[in-house]
Amino acid sequence: MATKQRQQIRKGPHGGMQLVLTEDVPHLGQQGQVVEVKGGYGRNYLLPNGLATIPTEHNMRLLARYQERVQQAREAKIADLKVLAEQIARTTVTITAIANEEGHLYGSVGAPEISKALKAQNLNIEPEMVRLEGPIKECALYAVKLHLGHDIETEVKVLVVRQEEKS
């Protein structure tokens, strides 16, 4: 009777398990890299979530083919993001907020409000992409940085105006 061979996970020079990343993992590595991680992190997070695989010859061949397709998709996405960055750079967003006569806001304008205003102009920007130094508390024109991903950054002009009171 044939016994099933158990797949042994290779140990790295520091005693951790060696895995091949199938996706980009922040603070760990890029797709296709062989990384060494602690056993629990690999078994409990990377392998079950499909972020990494065991570096066998078969998996390495599949990963090489998969990487070619992902690289083409990544280049297309970067081109789309550059076009989006150019559109955003030419855009001025106006946000109305309740303020007193001196222009001090009663609340503040943050990333969710800026994201919502950009989405209203058919520019799909998530609040996590907005990089503010601090909350906006005055009525004025601001240049707000946006990080679109893949190291593409742009700026959008945000005009905060006082909401007219209804009489």
For the chain, 167 residues long, give each residue's pLDDT as a single digit of tens: 667 666 677 788 888 899 988 888 989 998 888 899 999 999 999 999 999 988 888 888 887 787 788 788 889 999 999 999 999 999 999 999 999 999 999 999 999 999 999 999 999 999 999 999 989 999 999 999 999 988 899 999 999 999 987 65
pLDDT for the residue 92: 95
Of 93, 105, 99, the residue nearest 165 (C-alpha): 99
pLDDT for the residue 23: 86
pLDDT for the residue 167: 52
Question: In the chain, which ranges are continuous DSSP H helix?
Answer: 39-41, 57-89, 111-120
Question: In 90-125, which ranges are continuous DSSP H helix?
Answer: 111-120
